[in-house]
Amino acid sequence: MQKSHLASSCVATAESLLVESNTSAHLENIGRNFGYPYMPKSRTLAHDGRGNYVVSDPESIPPALEVLKDRPLYAEKWASFSKELAVMVVRRRDGVCISYPTAETVHEENICKLVYAPAAVSGVVQEKVRSSSRRL
């Protein structure tokens, strides 16, 4: 739902699709479509990299299914990036949205390990992230 909301708001995201069946055959088909690596992700009960698994080749599909078993999934095409930026936005009771300073998250093995706040990016980038987040 979040991906659909972002796309409807013209926010670029990694290409993704619903995993219709948690089977090796279906994930192999996704690998043929997206290429390797790609990332199956839990649609529920996941945050900060928990609920994700890097599928680097067809042999990594069975362990991915074991880690993510019994969860509804989607798959995300691999997206290379230099930094992940995050911002927290709150909405007051009167409807006004306020955003905290942009932070940079650092991941190890796809799990958020460290957060730098404020992020080491220009003021222009920080404000772009904050204003986009408030709009969303």
3-state secondary structure 40-79: EEECCCCECCECECCECCHHHHHHHHHHCCCCCEEEEECC
Q: What CATH number does the domain located at 2-77 have?
A: 3.30.1490.20
The pLDDT profile of the chain, 136 residues, written as one tens digit per residue, is 888 888 887 777 889 999 999 999 999 999 999 999 999 999 988 876 778 999 999 999 999 999 999 899 999 999 888 888 999 999 999 999 888 889 999 988 888 889 999 999 999 998 888 888 887 7
CA distance 71 to 65: 9
Sequence ranges of the domains in the chain: 2-77, 84-135
Strand pairing category for 38-42 and 84-86? unpaired
Q: Taking the model in full, what pTM does it have?
A: 0.80
Which tokens belong to 117? 């706040």
